[in-house]
């Protein structure tokens, strides 16, 4: 029966692999690590891109910055009046936000005035990351150095939810009066403008009109904001893969050499098998199983470990690279967005080349005369 034949050949293949168990075990381990790293990078970047896409779908439709000497500058609120006159614009509101470096905890915060701040002057709401880095909580007082160098204390009224940490971890929300007083920003100025457009299909046209009417501005549309994250986490780029590419290349050479170059012992084995009545197709089948045993086991193991690493341990191995020099880092758990395309790509990148590479040299050895193979 076909199944029994496969089982017998598989038995023989496994016995043959176990004769060189040290070498093959090392190969499986390295192979699994390679799949693990590739899959981790793939899973992580896809999940974060997808998360960014979902979360930022309600970001402002157009942000208008004012550019001065190649850098964005404070925006005069009269620009908002100009923009509101453009047909199709529903609203244009000034946004007030900026950065604050906390010299005590060596962390960067994003200070922001929300459109509707529900607390009084002298009160703030902070993100979870700020709370962790400054070791503080709701009810405590948090000091900030103002533009005049004086310390101003704010009462923390609220900790922003841990669920929104991916976007609010470093935020400090305060009233407009406090923000303007702290940074010395005049009343007629804002950091940038958030523009709402009635018809989503007109966004690009309106952005172009803004650029034409106000040449010193830079409109950024929502699609560009989302695309930024697509570009940033393009999996082929990134320091992890650049560093890893050396190791990957070494593995490919090693695996190719191992799979495609038959040792004298293996050639002899094929010769003996043929002399004892094995068909060429049986030898090729045996080599197929050899390739499949090693690559399929490694592929599945690498993928399972990558899933656990990215989605159960929040990509703990990547965290130092992602964190960089940042003191403040959000705590988040990624949603496992994995599609068939990713798994298939990984399969064709790892299992197929190795299995194919084992068959061709075996076929070459199997078609020659058994006697001459055994003599070499």
**81-110: which residues touch other proteins (CB under 8 A)?**
93, 95, 99, 107-108, 110
How many angstroms separate the Cα of 133 from the Cα of each of 49, 194, 328?
26, 30, 6
Cα separation of 68 and 83, whole Å? 19
Contact predicate 61/196, CB 8 Å: yes
**What is the gyration radius of the CA atoms in the chain, in angstroms?**
31
Contact predicate 75/64, CB 8 Å: yes
Contact pick of 1, 104, 151, 239 for other proteins (by CB under 8 A) = 239
Contact predicate 71/186, CB 8 Å: no
Comparison of 182 and 190: residue with beta carbon closer to other proteins: 190
Contact pick of 34, 92, 127, 207 for other proteins (by CB under 8 A) = 127
Comparison of 148 and 163: residue with beta carbon closer to other proteins: 163
Q: Is 194 helix (H, G, I), strand (E, B) or coil?
A: strand
Beta-sheet pairing, 71-73 with 62-68: antiparallel
Closest separation in Å from C-beta 375 to other proteins: 31
Within positions 20 to 49, which residues make up the interface with other proteins, using CB under 8 A?
48
Contact predicate 289/19, CB 8 Å: no
Contact pick of 159, 300, 317, 374 for other proteins (by CB under 8 A) = 300
Closest separation in Å from C-beta 281 to other proteins: 19
For other proteins, which stretch binds (CB under 8 A), given 158-166, 199-207, 279-287, 359-367? 158-166
* Phi, psi of 42, rounded to the nearest 5 degrees: -65, -50
For other proteins, which stretch binds (CB under 8 A), given 141-149, 179-187, 206-214, 237-245? 237-245
How many angstroms separate the Cα of 154 from the Cα of each of 125, 127, 181?
10, 14, 13
Question: What is the maximum alpha-carbon separation in the chain?
Answer: 95
Beta-sheet pairing, 107-113 with 89-102: antiparallel
Within positions 310 to 349, which residues make up the interface with other proteins, using CB under 8 A?
311, 321-330, 335-338
For other proteins, which stretch binds (CB under 8 A), given 145-153, 208-216, 231-239, 244-252? 231-239
Contact pick of 30, 33, 59, 204 for other proteins (by CB under 8 A) = 59
For other proteins, which stretch binds (CB under 8 A), given 21-29, 69-77, 78-86, 182-190? 69-77
Which residues 6+ apart lie within 8 Å of 239 measured at CB? 321
Sequence length of the chain is: 376
Closest separation in Å from C-beta 367 to other proteins: 26
Strands (E), the chain: 62-68, 71-73, 75-76, 89-102, 107-113, 123-126, 141-145, 151-159, 171-173, 189-190, 192-197, 217-221
Within positions 252 to 291, which residues make up the interface with other proteins, using CB under 8 A?
none
Size of the site for other proteins (CB under 8 A): 86
Contact pick of 30, 159, 214, 225 for other proteins (by CB under 8 A) = 225
Comparison of 143 and 336: residue with beta carbon closer to other proteins: 336
Instruction: Give the number of other CB atoms < 10 A from CB of residue 164.
Output: 15
Contact pick of 15, 78, 201, 372 for other proteins (by CB under 8 A) = 15
Instruction: Confirm or reject binding of residue 352 to other proteins (CB under 8 A).
Output: no
Closest separation in Å from C-beta 311 to other proteins: 8
Closest separation in Å from C-beta 96 to other proteins: 10
């Amino acid at each position: 029966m076909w199944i029994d034949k496969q089982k017998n050949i598989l038995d023989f293949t496994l016995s043959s692999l176990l004769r060189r168990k040290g070498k093959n075990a090392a190969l499986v381990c390295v192979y699994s690590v390679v799949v693990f790293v590739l899959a981790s990078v793939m899973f992580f970047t896809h999940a974060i891109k997808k998360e960014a896409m979902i979360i930022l779908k309600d970001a402002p439709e157009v942000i208008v910055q004012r550019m001065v000497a190649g850098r964005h500058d404070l925006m005069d609120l009269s620009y908002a009046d100009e923009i509101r006159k453009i047909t199709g614009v529903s609203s244009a509101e000034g946004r007030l936000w900026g950065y604050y470096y906390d010299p005590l905890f060596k962390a960067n915060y994003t200070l922001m005035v929300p459109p509707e701040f529900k607390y009084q002057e002298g009160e703030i709401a902070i993100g979870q990351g700020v709370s962790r880095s400054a070791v503080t909580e709701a009810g405590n007082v948090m000091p900030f150095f103002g533009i005049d160098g004086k310390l101003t204390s704010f009462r923390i009224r609220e900790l922003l939810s841990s669920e929104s940490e991916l976007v609010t971890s470093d935020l400090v929300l305060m009233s407009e009066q406090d923000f303007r007083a702290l940074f010395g920003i005049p009343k007629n100025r804002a950091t940038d403008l958030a523009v709402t457009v009635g018809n989503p299909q007109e966004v690009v046209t309106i952005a172009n009109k803004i650029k034409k009417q106000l040449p010193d501005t830079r409109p950024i549309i929502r699609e560009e904001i989302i695309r930024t994250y697509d570009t940033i986490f393009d999996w082929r780029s990134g320091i992890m893969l650049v560093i890893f590419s050396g190791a990957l290349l070494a593995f490919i050479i090693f695996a190719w050499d191992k799979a495609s170059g038959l040792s004298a012992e293996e050639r002899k084995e094929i010769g003996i098998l043929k002399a004892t009545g094995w068909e060429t197709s049986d030898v090729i089948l045996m080599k197929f199983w050899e390739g499949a045993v090693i690559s399929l086991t490694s592929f599945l193991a690498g993928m399972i470990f990558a899933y656990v690493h990215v989605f159960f341990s929040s990509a703990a191995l990547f965290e130092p690279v992602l964190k960089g020099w940042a003191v403040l880092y959000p705590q988040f758990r990624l949603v496992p967005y994995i599609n068939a395309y990713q798994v298939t790509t990984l399969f064709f990148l790892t299992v197929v080349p190795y299995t194919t590479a084992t068959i061709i040299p075996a076929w070459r050895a199997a078609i020659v005369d058994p006697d001459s193979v055994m003599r070499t």
